[in-house]
Amino acid sequence: MAMEGRRRRRLVLWLVISAQTMLVAAAAGAKRQAPVMFVFGDSTLDVGNNNFLSGAAVPRANKPHYGVDFPGGHPTGRFSNGDNTADFVAKSMGLKSSPPPYLSLAPNGSSPLLAQTALTTGVSYASADAGVLDSTNEGKCIPLSTQVGYFNGTKAKMVAKKGAAAVSKLLADSVILMGIANNDLFVFAAAELLRGRSAAEQKSDAAAFLTDLLSNYSAAITDLHSIGARKFAIINVGLVGCVPVVRVLDADGGCAEGLNKLAEAFDVALGPLLAGLADKLPGLTYSLANSFRLTQDAFADPKASGYSDVASACCGSGRLLAEADCLPNSTVCSDHDSHVFWDRYHPAQRACNLTARAFYDGPAKYTTPINFMKLAQAS
Ligand SMILES: *[C@@H]1O[C@H](CO)[C@@H](O)[C@H](O)[C@H]1NC(C)=O
Ligand SMILES: *[C@@H]1O[C@H](CO)[C@@H](O)[C@H](O)[C@H]1NC(C)=O
Ligand SMILES: *[C@@H]1O[C@H](CO)[C@@H](O)[C@H](O)[C@H]1NC(C)=O
Ligand SMILES: *[C@@H]1O[C@H](CO)[C@@H](O)[C@H](O)[C@H]1NC(C)=O
Ligand SMILES: *[C@@H]1O[C@H](CO)[C@@H](O)[C@H](O)[C@H]1NC(C)=O
């Protein structure tokens, strides 16, 4: 049956418009929305929170040569020559960079920026020097328990703007990136040295310390879950006995094996801890990234990862450029990318990039039970 001309033209037009709508929808489906990300942790993830803390003892990456390889070449508060691991993880998930530091959005309670930013990109609470324990570097950082409290306050602002149901859904879909406990280990080990404990005493001290640390770590994740977080991307403790500031204490520049053993003991317990929490807390999923093993592998065969120096800092002074912090008057190595470490504590931008890629969709041995990509895509 022939259609009357005008009706047919209208039908054709409708079909074309519908097809375009479907194509647009298909394209949107193909390109996933980047997840909102909330970051908790220490200087390996801090993107500037410490710049807003007062006190002479607060570590801040607010001076040259930090940021020399950042667009513009300025220090940003990141303890890197450019981006850090939080930035590269965020980029791999489709964000432009790490979400911004909480204290840049909430110098006081009244800024509307906080809720807006939390709803669109997320927020970073990471703070250099922070640990799981409130006592770790007390007064010089935002400890984990306070970071969690700030997240809770952020949620209240999000709810006021968007409503409880929308915020529950958004938080459940968000990626929680967390890397912390390195500083607790440093502080514990330094205190043990000063106390001059016997080997037997050190062993029992370490056992008690690890129990506390794991219990508070578990409490923090449980609190985050109670606030609404569900998807956890967790970076374990690295090879802390091999950072330049520790190596320089050894006449031969060797690693502190005792400190590495302590880190390993913590990491070995972290796996079952997370598996236990996932069994207990409804909807909790996680990816545990093995920073310890990744670093071990890189150190065993530096050339395979493109490193010519895995022991010294690129920016600093003295032996291994590790006798002082990276300061405006420091020596800076010529090839920033060839060093694992930028300053005497922190990895350089390229190492951060390799790390994030390994955790996002690299070899299966570096993440348990799924990688960061699968975690981000899980619903
Ligand atoms: C709070 O922060 C906002 C935005 O940064 C600023 O405009 C305002 O003056 C601040 N208020 C107080 C009391 O510091
Ligand atoms: C750690 O846990 C202990 C008890 O297990 C608690 O007293 C303490 O307040 C917790 N605090 C932190 C975050 O250090
Ligand atoms: C978050 O804030 C709410 C409301 O103030 C409070 O009831 C709850 O205990 C807080 N949760 C955590 C984990 O701090
Ligand atoms: C660099 O400057 C600091 C003071 O900011 C000073 O203590 C240090 O001795 C200087 N280091 C070098 C290598 O000149
Ligand atoms: C990080 O690595 C990727 C892949 O090699 C590269 O495309 C990108 O430019 C690197 N980013 C930076 C800032 O170095």
The mean predicted confidence, pLDDT, of the chain is 92
Q: Which residues contact 281 (CB under 8 A, 6 or more apart)?
A: 221, 222, 225
pLDDT given at position 19: 45
DSSP string spanning 13-41?
HHHHHHHHHHHHHHHHHHSPPPPPEEEEE
pLDDT in tens, 351-378: 999 999 999 999 999 999 999 999 999 9
308 is catalytic: no
The band of 196, judged by pLDDT with boundaries at 50, 70 and 90, is: confident
C-beta 21 within 6 A of ligand 3 = no
| 3-state secondary structure at position 124 | strand
pLDDT given at position 112: 86
pLDDT given at position 123: 98
pLDDT given at position 199: 87
Ligand 2 centroid to 221 CA: how many Å? Answer: 13
- Written as six digits, the tokens of 240 are 């802390």
C-beta 334 within 6 A of ligand 1 = no
Nearest ligand to the C-alpha atom of residue 329: 4
Burial of 276 (0-12, 13-18, 19+ CB in 10 A): exposed
**Weakest mean pLDDT among 102-116, 203-217, 282-296:** 102-116
Choose, from 42, 43, 97, 225, the residue flagged as catalytic. 43
Q: What is the DSSP letter of 215?
A: H
What atom of ligand 4 comes closest to residue 331's alpha carbon? 13
Question: 287: closest CA among 124, 178, 170?
Answer: 178
pLDDT in tens, 219-271: 999 999 999 999 999 999 999 999 999 999 999 999 999 999 999 999 999 99
- Architecture per CATH, domain 2-377, reads as 3-Layer(aba) Sandwich (3.40)
C-beta 152 within 6 A of ligand 3 = yes
Q: What's the 3-state SS for 129-188?
A: CCCCCCCCCCCCCCCHHHHHHHHHHHHHHHHHHHCHHHHHHHHHHCEEEEECCHHHHHHH
pLDDT given at position 108: 62
* Mean pLDDT within 306-334: 98
Ligand 5 centroid to 64 CA: how many Å? Answer: 22
* Mean pLDDT within 113-117: 95
C-beta 108 within 6 A of ligand 1 = yes
43 is catalytic: yes
| 3-state secondary structure at position 367 | strand
- Written as six digits, the tokens of 154 are 């952020």
Ligand 1 centroid to 248 CA: how many Å? Answer: 45
74 is catalytic: no
**What is the enclosing helix (H) or strand (E) of 285?**
strand 285-289
pLDDT given at position 1: 40
List all residues whose CB is within 6 A of at least one atom of ligand 2: 133-134, 145, 215-216
C-beta 111 within 6 A of ligand 1 = yes
What atom of ligand 1 comes closest to residue 111's alpha carbon? 4
Percent of the chain with pLDDT over 70: 90
Distance CA 340, CA 348 (A): 6
